[in-house]
Amino acid sequence: MSPEEAQRQAMLEFGGKEQVKEEVRDVYRVRFMDSAIVNVKAAIRFIRKSPSFSATIILTLALGIGANSAVFSAIDAILL
């Protein structure tokens, strides 16, 4: 079978490139959403299981993000 005939046969069997790309994107979107839902459920279970540890983690993140924003704002005001 010539390369041209093989390409034609593949196009007939699998569809065009754009169609295949769209099908792959749909699969990844579904997989991403399933993974996100599983992660949120696990986080909720963890927070319910140990609320004090979860509060400590959330507070630490809040302080770190706040400090980072404050330092960035100060440096931005000084340098620019």
Q: For the segment 24-59, what is each residue's pLDDT rounded down to a tens digit? A: 777 777 788 888 899 999 989 988 999 999 899 999
CA 60 to chain centroid, in Å, comes to 23
Token duo for residue 12: 């007939």
Total of domains in the chain: 2
Same domain, 35 and 56: no
Residue 31 domain boundaries = 1-49
Q: 44 with 58, same domain?
A: no
Same domain, 15 and 30: yes
- Answering whether pTM is above 0.75, one says no
3-state SS assignment for residue 2: coil
pLDDT at 24: 77
Residues 7-25: b if buried by 16+ CB within 10 A, e if exposed? eeeeeeeeeeeeeeeeeee
